[in-house]
Structure 1
Protein backbone atom coordinates (compact mmCIF):
# COMPACT_ATOMS: atom_id res chain seq x y z
CA UNK A 1 0.00 0.00 0.00
CA UNK A 2 1.23 3.48 -0.86
CA UNK A 3 0.77 6.95 0.66
CA UNK A 4 1.88 9.87 -1.55
CA UNK A 5 2.28 13.31 0.03
CA UNK A 6 2.22 16.17 -2.52
CA UNK A 7 3.65 19.39 -1.08
CA UNK A 8 2.98 23.02 -2.08
CA UNK A 9 -0.24 22.03 -3.85
CA UNK A 10 -2.60 24.93 -3.17
CA UNK A 11 -2.00 26.39 -6.63
CA UNK A 12 -1.81 24.58 -9.97
CA UNK A 13 1.22 26.71 -10.93
CA UNK A 14 3.24 25.11 -8.14
CA UNK A 15 2.53 21.50 -9.11
CA UNK A 16 5.18 19.47 -10.87
CA UNK A 17 4.14 17.34 -13.84
CA UNK A 18 4.55 14.22 -11.72
CA UNK A 19 2.27 15.62 -8.99
CA UNK A 20 -0.46 16.60 -11.47
CA UNK A 21 -0.39 13.11 -12.99
CA UNK A 22 -0.60 11.54 -9.54
CA UNK A 23 -3.68 13.63 -8.64
CA UNK A 24 -5.37 12.88 -11.97
CA UNK A 25 -5.04 9.13 -11.31
CA UNK A 26 -5.97 9.21 -7.61
CA UNK A 27 -8.96 7.25 -6.32
CA UNK A 28 -8.51 8.26 -2.66
CA UNK A 29 -7.55 11.85 -1.81
CA UNK A 30 -6.68 13.57 1.46
CA UNK A 31 -6.57 17.38 1.76
CA UNK A 32 -5.51 19.65 4.63
CA UNK A 33 -6.84 22.93 3.22
CA UNK A 34 -8.96 24.29 0.40
CA UNK A 35 -7.55 23.53 -3.03
CA UNK A 36 -7.95 25.71 -6.10
CA UNK A 37 -10.61 25.09 -8.73
CA UNK A 38 -7.86 24.33 -11.25
CA UNK A 39 -6.45 21.52 -9.10
CA UNK A 40 -9.95 20.29 -8.29
CA UNK A 41 -10.52 19.82 -12.02
CA UNK A 42 -7.68 17.28 -12.05
CA UNK A 43 -9.38 15.12 -9.41
CA UNK A 44 -11.29 12.12 -10.85
CA UNK A 45 -15.06 12.47 -10.42
CA UNK A 46 -15.45 9.11 -8.67
CA UNK A 47 -12.58 9.53 -6.19
CA UNK A 48 -13.09 9.61 -2.41
CA UNK A 49 -11.95 12.88 -0.80
CA UNK A 50 -11.41 13.40 2.93
CA UNK A 51 -9.95 16.10 5.15
CA UNK A 52 -6.76 15.05 6.94
CA UNK A 53 -8.59 15.12 10.30
CA UNK A 54 -11.03 12.48 9.02
CA UNK A 55 -8.47 10.03 7.65
CA UNK A 56 -7.52 8.14 10.80
CA UNK A 57 -11.12 7.43 11.85
CA UNK A 58 -12.09 6.47 8.29
CA UNK A 59 -9.30 3.88 8.02
CA UNK A 60 -9.80 2.59 11.58
CA UNK A 61 -13.42 1.76 10.74
CA UNK A 62 -12.33 -0.30 7.70
CA UNK A 63 -9.25 -2.31 8.73
CA UNK A 64 -9.99 -5.01 6.15
CA UNK A 65 -10.77 -2.60 3.29
CA UNK A 66 -7.88 -0.16 3.30
CA UNK A 67 -7.29 1.78 0.05
CA UNK A 68 -4.20 0.60 -1.81
CA UNK A 69 -3.13 4.13 -2.76
CA UNK A 70 -3.71 7.34 -0.76
CA UNK A 71 -2.79 10.72 -2.28
CA UNK A 72 -2.46 13.64 0.15
CA UNK A 73 -2.63 17.17 -1.32
CA UNK A 74 -0.85 19.52 1.08
CA UNK A 75 -0.71 23.31 0.80
CA UNK A 76 2.39 23.42 2.99
CA UNK A 77 5.60 23.99 0.99
CA UNK A 78 8.04 23.40 3.84
CA UNK A 79 9.05 20.23 5.66
CA UNK A 80 6.49 17.72 6.93
CA UNK A 81 4.26 19.44 9.50
CA UNK A 82 3.51 17.98 12.93
CA UNK A 83 0.04 16.96 11.78
CA UNK A 84 1.40 15.33 8.63
CA UNK A 85 4.11 13.61 10.65
CA UNK A 86 1.49 12.09 12.93
CA UNK A 87 -0.45 10.75 9.94
CA UNK A 88 2.74 9.39 8.36
CA UNK A 89 3.61 7.47 11.54
CA UNK A 90 0.08 6.08 11.76
CA UNK A 91 0.03 4.98 8.11
CA UNK A 92 3.47 3.39 8.35
CA UNK A 93 2.21 1.46 11.36
CA UNK A 94 -0.59 -0.11 9.32
CA UNK A 95 1.60 -0.98 6.35
CA UNK A 96 1.77 2.06 4.04
CA UNK A 97 4.94 3.10 2.20
CA UNK A 98 5.60 6.87 2.13
CA UNK A 99 6.42 8.82 -1.04
CA UNK A 100 6.84 12.63 -1.13
CA UNK A 101 6.49 14.82 -4.25
CA UNK A 102 7.80 18.36 -3.58
CA UNK A 103 6.22 21.43 -5.13
CA UNK A 104 7.97 23.71 -7.60
CA UNK A 105 9.12 26.16 -4.90
CA UNK A 106 10.86 23.35 -3.04
CA UNK A 107 12.31 21.91 -6.25
CA UNK A 108 13.78 25.30 -7.15
CA UNK A 109 15.22 25.81 -3.68
CA UNK A 110 16.85 22.37 -3.70
CA UNK A 111 18.15 22.94 -7.22
CA UNK A 112 19.62 26.32 -6.33
CA UNK A 113 21.41 24.88 -3.32
CA UNK A 114 22.72 21.76 -5.06
CA UNK A 115 23.52 23.00 -8.56
CA UNK A 116 20.93 20.90 -10.42
CA UNK A 117 19.70 22.08 -13.86
CA UNK A 118 16.04 23.12 -14.19
CA UNK A 119 13.95 22.65 -17.33
CA UNK A 120 11.45 25.27 -18.52
CA UNK A 121 8.09 23.73 -19.26
CA UNK A 122 6.82 23.93 -22.85
CA UNK A 123 10.20 25.11 -24.17
CA UNK A 124 13.42 23.34 -24.96
CA UNK A 125 15.45 25.49 -22.58
CA UNK A 126 17.24 24.71 -19.33
CA UNK A 127 18.59 26.79 -16.47
CA UNK A 128 21.43 25.84 -14.18
CA UNK A 129 21.02 27.77 -10.94
CA UNK A 130 24.02 28.36 -8.71
CA UNK A 131 24.24 30.34 -5.47
CA UNK A 132 27.85 31.51 -5.57
CA UNK A 133 27.91 32.11 -1.82
CA UNK A 134 28.36 28.34 -1.59
CA UNK A 135 30.88 28.10 -4.43
CA UNK A 136 34.44 27.14 -3.52
CA UNK A 137 37.00 26.90 -6.37
CA UNK A 138 39.07 24.49 -4.29
CA UNK A 139 36.30 21.86 -4.26
CA UNK A 140 36.86 19.45 -7.14
CA UNK A 141 33.18 18.45 -7.46
CA UNK A 142 32.12 22.08 -7.99
CA UNK A 143 34.68 22.62 -10.74
CA UNK A 144 33.57 19.41 -12.45
CA UNK A 145 29.95 20.59 -12.29
CA UNK A 146 30.82 23.90 -13.98
CA UNK A 147 32.62 22.03 -16.76
CA UNK A 148 29.63 19.71 -17.21
CA UNK A 149 27.03 22.48 -17.39
CA UNK A 150 29.20 24.78 -19.52
CA UNK A 151 29.49 22.00 -22.11
CA UNK A 152 25.67 21.83 -22.37
CA UNK A 153 23.21 24.35 -23.83
CA UNK A 154 21.79 25.35 -20.45
CA UNK A 155 21.60 29.00 -19.46
CA UNK A 156 23.72 29.54 -16.36
CA UNK A 157 22.08 31.67 -13.66
CA UNK A 158 24.57 32.58 -10.92
CA UNK A 159 23.36 34.41 -7.81
CA UNK A 160 25.39 36.51 -5.34
CA UNK A 161 28.72 36.22 -7.10
CA UNK A 162 31.85 38.28 -6.51
CA UNK A 163 33.99 39.45 -9.39
CA UNK A 164 36.85 37.01 -8.72
CA UNK A 165 34.54 33.99 -8.72
CA UNK A 166 32.78 35.28 -11.85
CA UNK A 167 36.04 35.66 -13.74
CA UNK A 168 37.12 32.20 -12.59
CA UNK A 169 33.87 30.65 -13.84
CA UNK A 170 34.02 32.64 -17.08
CA UNK A 171 37.46 31.21 -17.82
CA UNK A 172 36.07 27.67 -17.60
CA UNK A 173 32.87 28.51 -19.49
CA UNK A 174 34.89 30.09 -22.32
CA UNK A 175 36.37 26.68 -23.08
CA UNK A 176 32.93 25.48 -24.19
CA UNK A 177 30.96 28.62 -25.11
CA UNK A 178 31.58 31.20 -27.85
CA UNK A 179 33.29 34.41 -26.73
CA UNK A 180 30.29 36.41 -28.00
CA UNK A 181 27.80 34.51 -25.80
CA UNK A 182 25.49 37.14 -24.20
CA UNK A 183 25.66 37.70 -20.44
CA UNK A 184 23.11 39.67 -18.42
CA UNK A 185 24.48 41.26 -15.26
CA UNK A 186 22.35 42.64 -12.41
CA UNK A 187 24.22 44.56 -9.69
CA UNK A 188 22.88 45.27 -6.21
CA UNK A 189 22.15 48.87 -7.19
CA UNK A 190 19.47 47.66 -9.58
CA UNK A 191 21.41 48.23 -12.78
CA UNK A 192 21.11 45.73 -15.62
CA UNK A 193 23.70 45.47 -18.40
CA UNK A 194 24.39 43.06 -21.24
CA UNK A 195 27.94 41.96 -22.00
CA UNK A 196 29.58 39.17 -23.94
CA UNK A 197 31.38 36.31 -22.24
CA UNK A 198 34.69 37.83 -23.34
CA UNK A 199 33.82 41.27 -21.94
CA UNK A 200 32.88 40.18 -18.42
CA UNK A 201 36.44 39.06 -17.78
CA UNK A 202 37.87 42.58 -17.99
CA UNK A 203 35.06 45.18 -18.14
CA UNK A 204 33.11 44.64 -14.91
CA UNK A 205 33.90 47.07 -12.11
CA UNK A 206 31.69 46.06 -9.16
CA UNK A 207 32.98 43.67 -6.50
CA UNK A 208 29.67 41.83 -6.05
CA UNK A 209 26.70 41.04 -8.31
CA UNK A 210 23.15 40.02 -7.45
CA UNK A 211 22.58 37.84 -10.51
CA UNK A 212 24.49 36.93 -13.66
CA UNK A 213 22.80 34.97 -16.45
CA UNK A 214 25.04 33.47 -19.12
CA UNK A 215 23.29 32.69 -22.41
CA UNK A 216 19.83 33.97 -21.34
CA UNK A 217 16.71 33.26 -23.39
CA UNK A 218 15.52 35.84 -25.95
CA UNK A 219 12.68 36.97 -23.67
CA UNK A 220 15.16 37.97 -20.98
CA UNK A 221 17.43 39.74 -23.46
CA UNK A 222 14.50 41.94 -24.51
CA UNK A 223 13.53 42.75 -20.92
CA UNK A 224 14.57 46.08 -19.42
CA UNK A 225 15.08 44.50 -16.01
CA UNK A 226 15.29 41.05 -14.52
CA UNK A 227 15.64 39.46 -11.11
CA UNK A 228 16.20 36.22 -9.26
CA UNK A 229 12.43 35.69 -9.40
CA UNK A 230 12.53 35.93 -13.20
CA UNK A 231 14.96 33.02 -13.26
CA UNK A 232 13.16 31.00 -10.60
CA UNK A 233 9.58 31.56 -11.71
CA UNK A 234 7.16 28.66 -11.35
CA UNK A 235 7.44 27.47 -14.97
CA UNK A 236 11.07 26.47 -14.54
CA UNK A 237 10.72 23.07 -12.92
CA UNK A 238 9.43 19.67 -13.91
CA UNK A 239 8.88 16.66 -11.74
Structure 2
Protein backbone atom coordinates (compact mmCIF):
# COMPACT_ATOMS: atom_id res chain seq x y z
CA UNK A 1 0.00 0.00 0.00
CA UNK A 2 1.25 3.47 -0.83
CA UNK A 3 0.36 6.95 0.42
CA UNK A 4 1.56 9.67 -1.95
CA UNK A 5 1.59 13.26 -0.68
CA UNK A 6 1.43 15.71 -3.60
CA UNK A 7 2.28 19.16 -2.22
CA UNK A 8 1.35 22.59 -3.61
CA UNK A 9 -1.31 21.46 -6.08
CA UNK A 10 -3.03 24.82 -6.45
CA UNK A 11 -2.48 25.02 -10.20
CA UNK A 12 -2.78 21.98 -12.48
CA UNK A 13 -0.45 23.57 -15.03
CA UNK A 14 2.44 23.21 -12.58
CA UNK A 15 1.92 19.55 -11.69
CA UNK A 16 4.96 17.35 -12.29
CA UNK A 17 4.86 14.31 -14.56
CA UNK A 18 5.45 12.06 -11.54
CA UNK A 19 2.54 13.66 -9.67
CA UNK A 20 0.31 13.17 -12.70
CA UNK A 21 1.23 9.47 -12.85
CA UNK A 22 0.27 9.08 -9.19
CA UNK A 23 -3.08 10.76 -9.83
CA UNK A 24 -3.76 8.47 -12.79
CA UNK A 25 -3.05 5.33 -10.73
CA UNK A 26 -4.74 6.41 -7.49
CA UNK A 27 -7.53 4.31 -5.97
CA UNK A 28 -8.43 7.08 -3.51
CA UNK A 29 -7.83 10.80 -4.04
CA UNK A 30 -7.96 13.19 -1.06
CA UNK A 31 -7.68 16.83 -2.25
CA UNK A 32 -7.65 20.06 -0.27
CA UNK A 33 -10.35 22.63 -0.99
CA UNK A 34 -8.03 24.95 -2.96
CA UNK A 35 -6.47 22.20 -5.07
CA UNK A 36 -7.00 22.84 -8.79
CA UNK A 37 -9.74 20.28 -9.38
CA UNK A 38 -9.30 20.39 -13.16
CA UNK A 39 -6.46 17.91 -12.65
CA UNK A 40 -9.02 15.34 -11.47
CA UNK A 41 -9.98 14.74 -15.08
CA UNK A 42 -6.96 12.42 -15.18
CA UNK A 43 -8.23 9.99 -12.53
CA UNK A 44 -9.32 6.48 -13.51
CA UNK A 45 -13.00 5.56 -13.55
CA UNK A 46 -12.83 3.42 -10.41
CA UNK A 47 -11.06 6.07 -8.34
CA UNK A 48 -12.93 7.45 -5.33
CA UNK A 49 -12.61 11.03 -4.03
CA UNK A 50 -12.66 11.68 -0.26
CA UNK A 51 -12.72 14.90 1.77
CA UNK A 52 -11.29 13.81 5.13
CA UNK A 53 -8.93 11.32 6.74
CA UNK A 54 -11.85 9.54 8.41
CA UNK A 55 -13.56 9.07 5.06
CA UNK A 56 -10.35 7.72 3.53
CA UNK A 57 -9.91 5.09 6.26
CA UNK A 58 -13.55 4.01 6.07
CA UNK A 59 -13.14 3.48 2.34
CA UNK A 60 -9.83 1.65 2.85
CA UNK A 61 -11.57 -0.89 5.11
CA UNK A 62 -14.27 -1.49 2.50
CA UNK A 63 -11.86 -1.83 -0.41
CA UNK A 64 -9.40 -4.09 1.45
CA UNK A 65 -6.73 -4.00 -1.28
CA UNK A 66 -3.10 -4.94 -0.60
CA UNK A 67 -1.85 -2.67 -3.39
CA UNK A 68 -4.07 0.29 -2.45
CA UNK A 69 -2.86 3.65 -3.81
CA UNK A 70 -3.89 6.74 -1.83
CA UNK A 71 -3.07 10.15 -3.28
CA UNK A 72 -3.18 13.14 -0.92
CA UNK A 73 -3.20 16.53 -2.68
CA UNK A 74 -2.48 19.60 -0.55
CA UNK A 75 -2.47 23.33 -1.16
CA UNK A 76 -0.73 25.95 0.97
CA UNK A 77 -3.92 27.95 1.55
CA UNK A 78 -5.43 24.92 3.32
CA UNK A 79 -2.46 23.04 4.73
CA UNK A 80 0.83 23.40 6.56
CA UNK A 81 4.02 21.37 6.91
CA UNK A 82 2.98 20.41 10.45
CA UNK A 83 -0.37 19.01 9.31
CA UNK A 84 1.20 17.20 6.36
CA UNK A 85 3.78 15.51 8.63
CA UNK A 86 1.01 14.45 11.03
CA UNK A 87 -1.12 12.94 8.27
CA UNK A 88 1.87 11.13 6.75
CA UNK A 89 2.81 9.71 10.17
CA UNK A 90 -0.74 8.37 10.66
CA UNK A 91 -0.70 6.53 7.33
CA UNK A 92 2.82 5.23 7.90
CA UNK A 93 1.74 3.84 11.28
CA UNK A 94 -1.17 2.16 9.47
CA UNK A 95 1.19 0.21 7.23
CA UNK A 96 1.43 2.49 4.18
CA UNK A 97 4.65 3.29 2.37
CA UNK A 98 4.78 7.10 2.37
CA UNK A 99 6.30 9.22 -0.39
CA UNK A 100 6.35 13.01 -0.74
CA UNK A 101 6.23 14.72 -4.13
CA UNK A 102 6.94 18.45 -3.74
CA UNK A 103 5.32 20.93 -6.10
CA UNK A 104 5.99 24.58 -6.85
CA UNK A 105 5.30 26.69 -3.77
CA UNK A 106 2.84 29.57 -3.93
CA UNK A 107 5.68 31.80 -2.77
CA UNK A 108 7.46 31.13 -6.07
CA UNK A 109 4.47 30.58 -8.33
CA UNK A 110 2.26 33.53 -7.36
CA UNK A 111 5.06 36.09 -7.03
CA UNK A 112 6.43 35.02 -10.43
CA UNK A 113 2.97 35.52 -11.93
CA UNK A 114 2.94 39.02 -10.42
CA UNK A 115 6.51 39.77 -11.62
CA UNK A 116 7.56 40.42 -8.03
CA UNK A 117 11.28 39.74 -7.36
CA UNK A 118 11.86 37.50 -4.36
CA UNK A 119 15.54 38.35 -4.26
CA UNK A 120 17.47 41.37 -5.47
CA UNK A 121 21.13 41.07 -6.41
CA UNK A 122 23.38 42.97 -4.04
CA UNK A 123 20.64 43.37 -1.44
CA UNK A 124 19.49 39.98 -0.16
CA UNK A 125 21.50 37.92 2.29
CA UNK A 126 18.93 35.23 3.18
CA UNK A 127 15.35 34.04 2.71
CA UNK A 128 12.99 33.67 5.69
CA UNK A 129 9.67 31.78 5.55
CA UNK A 130 7.18 31.88 8.41
CA UNK A 131 4.12 29.63 8.34
CA UNK A 132 1.36 30.76 10.68
CA UNK A 133 -0.82 27.66 10.26
CA UNK A 134 0.70 25.85 13.31
CA UNK A 135 -0.79 28.57 15.54
CA UNK A 136 -3.89 26.39 15.79
CA UNK A 137 -1.68 24.03 17.80
CA UNK A 138 -1.12 26.64 20.51
CA UNK A 139 2.15 28.23 19.36
CA UNK A 140 2.91 31.71 20.72
CA UNK A 141 3.46 34.71 18.43
CA UNK A 142 6.86 36.38 18.88
CA UNK A 143 6.97 39.92 17.46
CA UNK A 144 10.62 40.27 18.51
CA UNK A 145 11.58 37.48 16.07
CA UNK A 146 9.99 39.38 13.18
CA UNK A 147 11.84 42.53 14.26
CA UNK A 148 15.18 40.68 14.41
CA UNK A 149 14.72 39.26 10.91
CA UNK A 150 13.54 42.62 9.55
CA UNK A 151 16.80 44.16 10.77
CA UNK A 152 18.71 41.88 8.35
CA UNK A 153 18.72 41.83 4.55
CA UNK A 154 16.40 38.82 4.35
CA UNK A 155 13.34 38.49 2.15
CA UNK A 156 10.45 37.76 4.51
CA UNK A 157 7.76 35.40 3.19
CA UNK A 158 4.77 35.08 5.53
CA UNK A 159 2.29 32.30 4.72
CA UNK A 160 -1.20 31.89 6.25
CA UNK A 161 -0.65 34.40 9.07
CA UNK A 162 -3.18 34.41 11.93
CA UNK A 163 -5.19 37.61 11.51
CA UNK A 164 -4.99 38.66 15.15
CA UNK A 165 -1.17 38.85 15.04
CA UNK A 166 -0.37 39.99 11.51
CA UNK A 167 -0.71 43.74 12.00
CA UNK A 168 1.50 43.58 15.10
CA UNK A 169 4.10 41.68 13.09
CA UNK A 170 4.00 44.19 10.23
CA UNK A 171 4.51 47.05 12.67
CA UNK A 172 7.57 45.20 14.01
CA UNK A 173 8.93 44.88 10.46
CA UNK A 174 8.27 48.58 9.79
CA UNK A 175 10.61 49.62 12.61
CA UNK A 176 13.57 48.33 10.55
CA UNK A 177 12.51 48.59 6.91
CA UNK A 178 12.06 51.62 4.66
CA UNK A 179 8.50 52.90 4.29
CA UNK A 180 8.69 52.47 0.49
CA UNK A 181 9.75 48.82 0.67
CA UNK A 182 7.53 46.84 -1.74
CA UNK A 183 5.16 44.31 -0.14
CA UNK A 184 3.46 41.55 -2.13
CA UNK A 185 -0.02 40.75 -0.77
CA UNK A 186 -2.08 37.74 -1.92
CA UNK A 187 -5.48 36.80 -0.51
CA UNK A 188 -6.93 33.31 -0.17
CA UNK A 189 -8.75 33.66 -3.48
CA UNK A 190 -5.42 34.04 -5.27
CA UNK A 191 -5.84 37.77 -5.97
CA UNK A 192 -2.64 39.74 -5.45
CA UNK A 193 -1.34 43.29 -5.40
CA UNK A 194 1.91 45.08 -4.59
CA UNK A 195 1.94 48.03 -2.21
CA UNK A 196 4.50 49.78 -0.04
CA UNK A 197 5.18 48.83 3.58
CA UNK A 198 3.92 52.29 4.54
CA UNK A 199 0.56 51.60 2.85
CA UNK A 200 0.22 48.24 4.57
CA UNK A 201 0.92 49.59 8.07
CA UNK A 202 -1.49 52.48 7.50
CA UNK A 203 -4.39 50.02 7.03
CA UNK A 204 -4.77 49.18 10.72
CA UNK A 205 -8.34 47.82 10.80
CA UNK A 206 -8.03 45.91 7.52
CA UNK A 207 -9.60 42.42 7.46
CA UNK A 208 -6.35 40.43 7.72
CA UNK A 209 -8.19 37.08 7.86
CA UNK A 210 -8.27 37.10 4.05
CA UNK A 211 -4.46 37.08 3.81
CA UNK A 212 -2.71 34.00 2.42
CA UNK A 213 0.74 35.33 1.55
CA UNK A 214 2.83 38.41 2.29
CA UNK A 215 6.34 38.88 0.92
CA UNK A 216 8.47 41.76 2.19
CA UNK A 217 11.77 42.43 0.45
CA UNK A 218 14.75 43.99 2.23
CA UNK A 219 14.70 47.78 2.37
CA UNK A 220 15.89 49.29 -0.91
CA UNK A 221 18.90 51.61 -0.94
CA UNK A 222 17.07 53.30 -3.77
CA UNK A 223 13.68 52.42 -5.23
CA UNK A 224 14.20 50.64 -8.58
CA UNK A 225 11.84 51.66 -11.36
CA UNK A 226 10.72 48.01 -11.67
CA UNK A 227 9.47 47.92 -8.09
CA UNK A 228 7.74 51.29 -8.29
CA UNK A 229 5.92 50.21 -11.43
CA UNK A 230 3.97 47.61 -9.47
CA UNK A 231 3.05 49.88 -6.55
CA UNK A 232 -0.05 51.28 -8.21
CA UNK A 233 -2.84 49.62 -6.23
CA UNK A 234 -4.38 50.22 -2.85
CA UNK A 235 -5.85 47.99 -0.17
CA UNK A 236 -9.05 49.53 1.18
CA UNK A 237 -10.11 48.81 4.80
CA UNK A 238 -13.70 49.96 4.28
CA UNK A 239 -14.35 47.40 1.54
CA UNK A 240 -12.51 44.60 3.35
CA UNK A 241 -10.69 43.66 0.18
CA UNK A 242 -8.27 44.64 -2.53
CA UNK A 243 -9.04 47.35 -5.03
CA UNK A 244 -7.07 48.01 -8.19
Shorter-normalised TM range = 0.3 to 0.5
Q: TM-score, normalised by structure 2?
A: 0.40
- Using CA pairs under 8 Å that are at least 6 residues apart, name the structure with larger relative contact order, 1 or 2: 1
Choose 1 or 2 for highest CA Rg.
1
